[in-house]
Amino acid sequence: MSIQIYNDGLAGAGASEATRTQDLSRAATGGKPAFGPSSSGEDQVQISSLSSALTADGSQHAARVQQLSAVFQSGRYEVNSMDVSRAIVNQALTSPGMEGE
């Protein structure tokens, strides 16, 4: 993921890098700016790939929660105590800052 900032007021070495980024972006989008002020003068941010990834993860998570809820309510949910204990120990061993607490 990359973050791009559009600012006409840049000066110095940062300005040349910003211009280069804009030129590369325009080349990739057929000459149209991929970011920057809109025709109304407002700033724009494009995070569509991140947004769609988060939406997909959220949908999968919601489906899994619904599935687990149905299994639990039917009385068929069983916990593997060995898996839970291993996960707890592994988490304790790999988590920084847990010494002495």
> Per-residue pLDDT tens for 24-71?
555 555 555 555 555 566 777 777 777 777 777 888 899 999 999 999
Q: Which residue has the tokens 């999968």?
A: 60
Say if 55 falls within a structural domain.
Answer: yes
How far apart CA 67 and CA 55 sit, in angstroms, is 18
Q: Do residues 56 and 71 share a domain?
A: yes
- Say whether pLDDT at 21 is over 60: no
Tally of domains within the chain: 2
How far apart CA 45 and CA 35 sit, in angstroms, is 7
pTM: 0.36
Say if 69 falls within a structural domain.
Answer: yes
Q: Between the CA of residue 28 and those of 52, 65, 85, 86, what are the distances in Å?
A: 21, 40, 51, 49
User: What integer is the mean pLDDT of 72-90?
Assistant: 94
